[in-house]
Structure 1
Amino acid sequence: MELRQLEYLVTVVEEASFTKAAAKLHVAQPGVSAQVKQLERELGQELLDRSGRTVRPTEAGAAVLPYARAALAAVADARFAVDELTGLLRGRVAVGMVTSCAPLGLPDLLADFHKDHPGVEINLVEDNSDRLIAALRAGRLDTAVVGLAGPAPQGIATETVADEPVVAVVSHDDPLAGRTGLAFDALRDQPLISLPRGTGLRTCLDEACAAAGFAPRIAFEASDPNVLAQLAARGLGVAILPGSLAAYHRATLHTITFTGPELRGRLALAWRGEGPAGPAARALIERARRALAPVRP
């Protein structure tokens, strides 16, 4: 049994594909298949179900996976111990982010980390919070900035980096523009402009509507909060935005706070509860926890 075989097995499971795993590992796909088959022969069991459109672990494969990951983590830790003595750090870190986290300074954080640790390969992807959390659980990401409407999901550790009110915004000539406060129930028949499902802000909206006894009437959806602001400014409905973004667009938008219940949205740095897989990821997470100072207006 070789570490390479364990690495290939784990990567195929994470990518649910031999082809994608080979691309991620920068090796030929037949080589990945051959090494996994050799591992299966040695263990006397099929570890992967190749019958469907995606590759999944068999019962035996699922039993082997935790030990494979532990072995790879142990090797990474041994390398990290040596790297600490020599001032080096190597490896790969996969980072995720939601669209609305740009003001937190994540690009600067990643650039500074790369400057200090040029031997670490950094990958960044953007997605909604639900899919980022799923990727964290599956091991495809090491850490991510996600939006949360409530407690942290099971198995995910988080540290809040922004906590602010969620508000409604309308154009200055909208009939609601004369209001500074609004009971949430008043949105019952209003055309709403919101982020898509799977985002923290949308979850916050959907839960508040459900608590008030109605389903939101979503007229427009966009993944960029600035687009929501622009749609509202053109008189197309009531946009639901973080308070800081509403303040940024105050020249074209009128902000209305909710008088009950108050809505708050959070951005959080998230990672797997049992810890990241490698030393490079741990180093980046520790730096991110120091650098992404909480914002709670």
Structure 2
Amino acid sequence: MASLKVMDLRQLNHLIAVAEHGSFSSAARSLHTVQSNVSNHVAKLEKELGTTLLDRRTMQPTPEGQAVIGRARKIRAEIKAISDDLHTINEEVEGQVQIGCIGVTARWIITPLLEKLGASFPSLQPRLVDGNTNSLTQKILSGDLDLAIINAPAMNASLESETLFEEERVIIAPIDHPLAEYDSITVDELPNYEMMMTSQGTIFRDSLDEELSSAGVEIKITAEIDGLRLLASLAFQGHTPAILPASAAYGYPDSGWALTRINGLRKRPVSLIRNKRITPSLPSRATNEVIHEVVKEIGPDQPGIEVKI
């Protein structure tokens, strides 16, 4: 049985860095140290545990390495939480909080969130990460994020998930397009128009395809765009109508485009998730509360959004 007498946090952090950056040299640069220091720490950890953690040919973690890295990330997150909590005892909330958010929701929620966090907790240091639902979920599971706002409820047993709001899927069309004449159309009318869509393999597109297929509806797709924000930008520039989440309409000038609702489609849930296997720090808990406040205050004013908290 492996002894744990010598294993320390530096060894674990060096192992994580190699896994994240793909080589000893890149890990060393990220840690502001020399390559030999990183390789020595990893080698000592392997000797202490009595197993190989990195395949030196591919620099990928072995199955044993993946198990250790998963635990190490949780330990790192807990150490950070301890540090943040100690800073806040008998003082104001301070320290870092890592927040992830899908792009179209970030358009209307991030600015008021930062303003409210700054006013309530001036010593708090938020770090924001943009990404899609899949990438943000993985960062929550690895302990790299404290909180994340994603599309759809998280189904992983390690995650705590709460639906913040539900939003309609709408059509954004150029003002001179025939669709601009209608406040809403039915699902059955969608085949009458050509549309841009986000790429297959995304949660937004795949869930929409599944729902349309169940209804026996097939859309004429003129282009597939990789990313909802780019799709929204093209739609608002008047390229071609596009199906988007309602929050994508936030922040664009009111002229030159029209929003048409689609009757008969389910609303898209947007949820706040965290890793329930990691005890949340005080900065994380404070940020969670402020996110709720922002959604409750501003959400009802967003077109096509129904607040659920």
5+ residue gaps, structure 2 = 1-6
- What TM-score, normalized to structure 1? 0.76
The aligned counterpart of 2:4 is none
Equivalent position of 2:129 in the other structure: 125
Structure 1 counterpart of 2:52, which letter? E
**CA distance in 2: counterparts of 1:286 and 1:158, whole angstroms:** 14
Please state whether the residue corresponding to 2:168 is helix, strand or coil. Answer: strand
Partners of 2:124 and 2:286 lie apart in 1 by 13
Indicate which of 218, 242, 253 corresponds to 2:257: 253
Q: Percent identity?
A: 29
* Cα distance between partner residues in 1 of 2:112 and 2:184: 37
Structure 1 unaligned regions, length at least 5: none
Change (3 A) 1:277 1:57: farther
The answer to whether 1:166 aligns with 2:172 is: no
- Higher mean alpha-carbon deviation, 221-230 vs 246-255, is at 246-255
Q: Which moved more, 1:168-177 or 1:85-94?
A: 85-94
Provide the C-alpha distance between the structure 2 equivalents of 1:249 and 1:91, rounded to a whole number of angstroms. 37
Structure 2 partner of 1:227 = 233
C-alpha separation in 1, matches of 2:103 and 2:293: 21
Q: Secondary structure at the match of 1:168?
A: strand
- What is the match of residue 105 of structure 1? 109
- The answer as to whether partners of 2:171 and 2:242 remain within 8 angstroms in 1 is yes
Separation of aligned partners in 1, 2:175 and 2:266? 22
1:82 and 2:86 equivalent?
yes
2 CA distance for matches of 1:72 and 1:170? 47
1:267-289 CA distance string (max 9 Å, x none): 33332242467665455344434
How many angstroms apart in 1 are the aligned matches of 2:82 and 2:16?
Answer: 19
Post-superposition Cα deviations, 1:46-65, rounded to whole Å, max 9, x if no partner, equal 1122322xx43223223434
| Shift, 1:202, TM fit | 2.9
CA distance in 2, matches of 1:246, 1:85: 42
CA positional deviation for 1:19: 4.5
Tell me which of 2, 8, 12 is aligned to 1:6.
Answer: 12
Structure 1 residue 40, shift from structure 2 partner: 1.0
Deviation by residue 1:85-144 (Cα, 9 ceiling, x = unmatched): 352766654332222123433244346546736475x43332222322233333343332
TM-score normalized by the length of structure 2: 0.74
Structure 1, residues 153-190: CA drift from partner, whole Å, max 9, x if none?
A: 32433333332221223334434444444232332363
Choose the corresponding residue for 2:188, options 180, 185, 188. 185
Q: Residue 33 of structure 1 aligns to a residue in which SS?
A: helix
Question: Is it true that 1:144 corresponds to 2:148 in the alignment?
Answer: yes
CA distance in 2, matches of 1:100, 1:92: 24
